[in-house]
Each structure stands twice: as structure tokens, then as C-alpha cells.
Structure 1
């Protein structure tokens, strides 16, 4: 029997705590034994829940890394610009890594991460969780079966959801690229990774268009206020904080949601604590009066090395979910992630449909507030298999080497967008960072 893997959590925010709880699904094989976060109340709550001894609870990740290695693997779940330094330090301490995406907003750091991982012989798994969902794994299986022939075009839609945009990219942690990452990297490196992985092809050049069109001061209604609670036009505004965090059927605490996004506002979401958080806190601000600068819509076009193409549309102005259309020489695949359906349409043949019960058979979907279709738990499963040598290296494994291509493409797309859609050649773009 393989030994139980041990985990140290560096950053116990929403994602770090979620991965820690996902580990409980495999309690016989993996256990969280140490935790660090700047917020003492987060550490205390998770430590009590997971029975972590006091001596393994730390007020910062830096403090935890000063100790001798405490676990087999470290989960680094800090903000985008806070991944690189702890990742390097942790590998040198002997930790394998589960590294939250994006790896870094700075491409010049990618080569150093690869170098250190090879020198220390440490595994680095990037949290591109969508590769692990039954939905995208089934699409990959269909493509590799050859039933739709060679992939010529892929069209993907990243429907951010109107309230998710307001929460994360207007009011929240990823609102300003000067503090975090461009949105195409922070949000959509998932989607670009899927386009590359599903097609099995490398990107030759990329072009992109997009802007911050709506969520800016000039669009604020005349009688709007700095905070939603005082606003005279809140009744007609879908972005009203009370509507999102209190009353919304999916996100509101009054509807029983005590997980994400409400747990970002307050450690223990209740009607009272959420109300206090939005009265004068960042998540109660008018969406037209924040310090956000990231785009609210963007289109990315990829030309692959074999002249096939892929495109991604990211939009904040949606009520749906991710969808995809894969077009091949012999047929087509259409799918929607939230609805968990896939249709295969072979040319001249009979349509084959896969529904939710087929895709989710045997998969526990409890505690999946992020809409990742079970990918988070399967990521932990694959991590266990890799580090214990019981599952080999599956074709979906999101190693650092595999994951970085989507990061380069995202940064090239942002360069193209800023330069009014000028195409960026990937070979030259990547080479420019390696020559620094």
C-alpha cells in the first residue's frame, strides 16, 4: 500500500480552502498537515476543521517555509503575483507543487520555474482543473477516436456570468491588471489551455480584440451612489450587491448559499455578516465606480501550425456557461459544460448524445461551488496517482511544461489586443523571453 501523502497549504483563501476540503474525499490517501495564511481567522477555522496541530499553523507562507519540509506537496493558492517566489523556495525545500493558475503574469519567470523544477526533480502540477472534468475528457476521447476526422476549427465561449464579472473582475481581487493579471490570463488561461489540449496542436500566431466597455464611471447612472446600499437606482440594477449576495437564487446567502462567492466577503456568511460586508466594503461598491481596468469582453483568434484555427470569445454579459463547437473533417461536436451535454454529429451519420448522467456517473458533485464540473476533485485524484506512482502520467496531466503554452498564448493575445489586434507570432514572442 502506498503511503499517505501529506500537504501544506500556502494561502487559505477560497481556492486553498476548497482544495483542502477536496483532499477529504481521498482521506485514506492524502492529508493536509500544515496551513499558512495572513488572516488568522482563516487558519483557525481550517485548522479546527481538518485537525491540524497548532505548531503547523502559520501567520504567513514565508514563516512556514522557514521550517524544515513539513509535507510531501505544497498547494500554493495565493494571488497571481505571489506564486513565483514561494514556488521556487518550496521546490528548493523539497516540496512537490500544486500551483494555482495563472503560474505568473510575468513570462520571464516561467523559464526559472522550469529550471528549478528540473534541478530539484520536483513535480509541478498547474490547476487547469477543466482538463479533468468528465465533460472535456469525453470531448477529448471523441476527438482522439477519429470519429470527426481531423480538427479544422474550434469555437469556444467563456460565458463569465454577469454576477461573476461583477464579483471577481470589477469589485474583486482580479479587477486591476496592474495588481494581478490581464483578464485573458487570469480567467481564460483555462480556456486557451483547453483549445491547445483538445486540438493537440501548437499555436503559430494569435490576434485579439477587446476592451473595458461597460464598467466605468462614464456609464454610471445619474442618481447612482458609491455604494449599493445607498443607491437610488438599485431596483433597476442587476449588479446591486444586495441582489447578488443576499437574494440571488444561486449566490445569495438568504437562499442558503454559504460558500463562494459569499465566503469571500466574510469568513462565516450569514445575512448579518454579508450585510455588514457590503455596507462599506469593496463588494458593495457601485460597479461603475470601482478601480477596475480589466476588459469585460474579448475575442482571441489562434492559427495553429497546420493552418487549422480556434477562437475564444470571453464575455461578461451572459447568463450561461462555457460552450464549445469542435469542427472536424468528418463531423462536429457541440457541448455545454453547465448543462453537461455533448452532441456528436458525424457527417451523413446518426447524431450521438451524451447527457449529464452519462458524464457524471460515479462522481460526487458535493461541494463544488465553482462550476468546474468535478474537475477540482479529479485534479487531486491525478495528483495522488502521480506522486504515489499509482496512475502514471495521464494525457490530461497539467504539468508545468504543458501548462505554460496557454500562458504564453494569453500574454501574446493581450499584447495583440493592446496593439489594436496586430497578430503576434508565437515563436518570436516566446523566444524574446528566453533571451532575456
Structure 2
């Protein structure tokens, strides 16, 4: 396929998808708290479906990010705030708030804006402490507002197709789910060694930051059955000072052995050299209109900032590999594996084993489900037709698009039925994630159904 034809098809698909959205739906207005990658990601829906959604305010302490967001969405100056506190001090002026600050800063703006009557789209995890998750849950419940936690994969057509097939009984009773989250070797180095989630005291543990999605998925596919016991094992195996290659430098830009290191910042961010910000380079440096050019500022950030440090010389302490074993009330089991060292980035693989057959979803191979029937000994492929309605280029394989689309619909018609990741179920699976980390740290089997810390 030629590049021009591919662009024409993408444009056609986008137009078709936009046209398929209900045009007589009430237009929803939003404020965005935190204008980083995730905030910009969800706000993108306003640019592509302006008849359904518009961003009318932003709270962001970084001037450059705030000004860029203001320009992109044509936000009046008096609706641009340097903090969530100044936003929350104003009278409510939008239908909903998208809270996409750093994880440890979710609690206060979410509670304050819920009390103001804003419906809330909250980036995952809900919060980094169990008690804060409970506080958010109670605040939104007491205020009577919609709370949707960004467990975006619950909205992903292949995930929902897998759930549909499980519930249909096509594989009989589910006995075991084996689920793997391959983070990706350079992605882990970017986010969990050098980046915002590298240290538990500054952010949170990696299972919560990365895989509360995946604990939630296992619970979803299992029909939210009660988890009776779980165990977990994991460690920071590789990214430690004693694993540093001989002759390695403190920073990649002047390291003599950089050429032989797969985690080199030069390889991750400068090969090939970008001409404008795009993920993950946009996290390192988002200045795109300076006279010196983007590449100049990106290289400077690598020479001076955290993303140019040797991966063996940071203060990271989060697990780079972890397994969690679950047992449920009916005796069924599940295993979650989080692994940093993989080729594919977050291309999850799930195997569901039932008494009458099995189902396999490997996102690295597309949005399809493989079904094998024990009785007929036949294999079939189940497709996810809804993926055709996704606008191109959205994160998590299109799941981000379906998440914001459902949230906007729920707010527009004031119907929580469009929310698949509401407060009750999201709190339950967050507590399971905290319980799993407790099991890893203590080396003990944890029984969530018997411990009030892990019960909603």
C-alpha cells in the first residue's frame, strides 16, 4: 500500500467513524487537570468530534504545556489555571473533569471537583494509597457524580469480545486464565527506570502503576468473582548498580560502551532523530517551536536530565518482573505476569482455558480471538468488528478512543450504564492490586475475602 493511499484510507476511516457517532447527542464540556500526555490524549476527542465534546478549561502548572493546551483548544485565558486549587475555587463551568495529573496527585483534585458537581474521568491508578482510593470512591458516591476510572482496556473491543465468548459458555466453565503484560525492554527503561514511575516513594510500585489494568482484566473476565487467596513474587532483577557493564558512564551521551547497551538513551530517543515531539521523546522534551529546533532541546535534555542517565545509576526501586497467582471462590485460578524484558510493548497475551475449549488473544497478532473447541476439534477465529469504528492513532490499540467515547456518552445522557469501569468495580480491583503487592512484600499468601483492608 502506498503512503498516500494509506493516508486517504485513514482519513476515510476517521470520517466514517466520526459520522457514526450520534449527532443529536448533547455536547459535553470538560476541564482538564494535568495537560501532559494522558490529558492531551483524552482531549483529542474534542478535536475529532467537536459536535460531541469540547474542552473549555485547563489546570496545569507548567506554563509551556498550559499555553500549548490553551492554543490547541482555543480556551479563554480566564479558564486557564496554574493549579487545580484555583480551578476548584471557581464556580462549576463544565460538565466534567478529566483528572490526569501524576498518580500521587489524583486524590485532592478529584475529591474537590466531585464536590463541585463535575463528573470525573480519572486516569489510573485511582490513587497510590488504599485509603485514598476509598476516599475518592466515597466522595464521588456522596456527590452523585459519574466516576469512570481509565481502565481503558475494559472498553477495548478484543477484551469485550473475549468476555462475550466466555459468558456465552462456548468454552464451558473457565478453569484458568494465563495473562501476560510484556512492558517492553526500552519502554520499561523509559517509564520505570528513568521516568515518572521509577521510585515507589516518589510515585508507586510498578504493579499498581502498570498492571492495575491487568488485575482488573482478570477480574472482569472471571465475572468479578471473589478472590479467596493470592500470592506474588517479583523483584528488581536487572536495573541495579551491580549489573552495570564495565566501563559504563553515568550518562549515555558520553558513555564509552553505549553502543553495546540496548537501554541507551541515544538509541531510544535519537535513533532515528525526531523533528518534532512524539512519544516517548515528548516526555523527555516537549518544546517544539523554539528557534534552535526540537532536536537541539531534546539532546540538551538528555545531557542534563533524568532521561539521559545510565539505567544502572538511577534511584529506581520498582520490580522489573512480577507474577501474581489468584484463586477464586469457585476454585478457578489465574496467573498474571508482568515482565520488562520483551520485544513487544504492552501487546498483551491472554489464554483462557475452559472445560469445553480454549480462547487465545495475542494483541501482537491483531484484534482477533482464536477459539479451539474440544468436542469438534476445530479452530476458529473471532473478529472484533467494532475496531473498524476507531479513529486511527489512538493509544492502547484504540482502547483510549472507546473509553472517552463511552464517558462522553454517559455524561451526555446521564446514564452510568455506559461506564464499564465505575467506582465499585475499580475500587475492588485496585484493592486486589494492593493485596498482591502485600503478598509479594511479605512473602505470604494473602486472603482478600477475609481481610477488611481489601474489601469494599
Q: TM-score, normalised by structure 1?
A: 0.93
Residue 380 of structure 2 corresponds to: 352
Task: Give the match's secondary structure for 1:157.
Answer: strand
Question: Residue 331 in 1 paired to residue 357 in 2?
Answer: yes
Greater displacement, 157-166 / 336-345:
336-345
Where structure 2 has 5 or more consecutive residues not aligned to the other structure, the ranges are: 1-23, 289-293
C-alpha distance after superposition, 1:75-102 (max 9, x if no partner): 1101111111111111111111001111
Deviations 1:306-364 (A, max 9, x none): 110011010001112210001111110011123223201111332111457x4622222
Q: What corresponds to 1:280 in structure 2? A: 304
Q: 1:36-435 to 2 correspondence within 5 Å?
A: 36-200=59-223, 201-247=225-271, 252-254=272-274, 258-268=277-287, 270-320=294-344, 321-340=347-366, 341-349=368-376, 350-354=378-382, 358=385, 360-366=387-393, 368=394, 370=395, 372-389=396-413, 393-394=417-418, 397-420=420-443, 422-429=444-451, 431-432=452-453
For residue 391 of structure 1, report the CA deviation from its aligned partner: 6.6
Q: Deviations over 1:172-214 (max 9, x none)?
A: 0000011111111110000000000011022111110000011
8 Å Cα contact 2:326-2:334 kept in structure 1 = yes
Q: Distance in 1 between matches of 2:201 and 2:450?
A: 25
The SS at the match of 2:191 is: helix
Q: 1:177 to 1:21 in 2, by over 3 A?
A: same
The offset of 1:402, in angstroms, is 1.1
Secondary structure of 1:154's aligned partner: strand
SS of residue in 1 equivalent to 2:298:
helix
Q: Distance in 1 between matches of 2:141 and 2:382?
A: 41
Deviation at 1:390, TM superposition (A): 7.4
- Cα deviation for residue 231 of structure 1 reads 0.5
Indicate the RMSD between aligned Cα atoms, in angstroms: 1.8
Is the alpha carbon distance of 1:119 and 1:105 closer, same or farther for their aligned partners in structure 2, counting shifts above 3 Å? same
CA distance in 1, matches of 2:333, 2:353: 10
Gaps in structure 1 of 5+ consecutive residues: none
Contact (CA 8 Å) 1:241, 1:284: kept in 2 or not?
yes
Q: How many residues align?
A: 423
For 2:164 and 2:450, how far apart are their aligned partners in 1?
32
SS at match of 1:180: coil
CA contact (8 A) 2:26 2:52 kept: yes
User: Alpha carbons of 1:376 and 1:34: their partners in 2 closer, same or farther (altered >3 Å)?
Assistant: same
Q: Note if contact 2:175-2:333 (Cα within 8 Å) is conserved in structure 1.
A: yes
SS of the residue corresponding to residue 179 of structure 1 reads coil
Give 1:253 deviation, angstroms: 4.2
Whether contact under 8 Å (1:203, 1:426) holds in the other structure is yes
Q: Distance in 2 between matches of 1:22 and 1:310?
A: 35
Deviation at 1:392, TM superposition (A): 5.8
